[in-house]
Amino acid sequence: MSIQTGQQAPDFTLFDTDKNKVSLADQKGSNVVLLFFPLAFTGVCTAELCNVRDNIGIYNNTNAKVFGISVDSLFTLGKFKAEQNLNFPLLSDFNKEAAKAYNVLYETFPAFEMQGVSKRAAFVIDKDGVVQYAEICPTPGDLPNFDAIQQTLNGLN
């Protein structure tokens, strides 16, 4: 069942690239943007996350914390974050618990027939933990609607 706007966001606890546990429940009081992406070091994922990096001020101005989430290991994500100079946390969903909770896991990823890869998806969660925006991209080559995400964040402040 897909995550819908108006419902409580499923909680999760994942490791970031600094080996710290990050829980969604600990983010209450801030708006949160979750960006699930298939794989580090791929072209579209790099473009997506660098777009967020280059526009981080927009998110900061709306009291939003951005988290990129993929099934890559925290070590792979750490190297990716460093190489791309990303200025927001990347979380490793290596065990695929968050992707399953948000129903954004491919049974078989279209490229290379890999199983257990996250779909590209975006969720905006308000200060009370309620989903205000949910988008699952139709294909891995599609990017989230950043304008709609920003409009949602602007409406929360």
90-92/13-16 β-pairing: antiparallel
Spot the catalytic one: 14, 24, 40, 45. Answer: 45
137 burial (CB, 10 Å; 0-12 / 13-18 / 19+) is buried
Alpha-carbon dihedral sign for residues 70, 88, 40, 42: positive
45 catalytic per annotation:
yes
* List of E strands, the chain: 13-16, 21-23, 31-36, 64-70, 90-92, 121-125, 131-136
Catalytic sites, residue numbers: 45
